[in-house]
């Protein structure tokens, strides 16, 4: 995929899961539950870096066919499911509390 337009990046970002404990303008979770930070699109040096993944084989690079994924996670188009290597870390956080700041852990 060539460099996406800012409008496409925004539209794909909107597919990320919002969480009540985090500002949705800056933080979302991917389909694996891993945290992503909006400003870290394409940043491989960030725990919260993210990318766009196609979810339908042979589909266009459009917001309908792209989803946001943490850089360490992947969507397997052939099998129709996500491949998760990272998810949100809630260790030592009581169920009724929020993990602040957001953090990830490797599976």
Q: What's the pTM value of the predicted model, to 2 decimals?
A: 0.90
Longest dimension (CA), the chain: 43
Domain boundaries defined on the chain: 6-99
Per-position pLDDT tens, the chain of length 107: 678 999 999 999 999 999 988 999 999 999 999 999 999 999 999 999 999 999 998 878 899 999 999 999 999 999 999 999 999 998 888 877 877 788 899 98
**The pLDDT of residue 49:** 98
Backbone φ and ψ for 98, nearest 5 degrees, come out as -100, 145
Q: Residue 14's closest CA among 25, 23, 2, 3?
A: 25
d(CA 66, CA 5): 13
- 33-49: b or e for each residue (b if 16 or more CB lie within 10 Å)? bbbbbbebbeeeeebbb
């Amino acid at each position: 995929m060539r460099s996406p337009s800012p409008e496409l990046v925004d539209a794909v970002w909107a597919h990320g899961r919002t969480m009540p404990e985090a500002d949705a303008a800056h933080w979302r979770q991917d389909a694996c539950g891993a945290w992503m930070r909006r400003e870290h699109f394409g940043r491989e040096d960030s725990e919260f870096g993210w990318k766009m993944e196609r979810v339908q084989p042979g589909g266009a690079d459009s917001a309908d066919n792209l989803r946001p994924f943490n850089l360490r996670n992947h969507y397997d188009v052939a099998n129709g499911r996500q491949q998760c290597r990272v998810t949100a870390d809630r260790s030592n956080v009581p169920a009724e509390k929020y993990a602040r700041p957001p953090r990830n852990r490797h599976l």
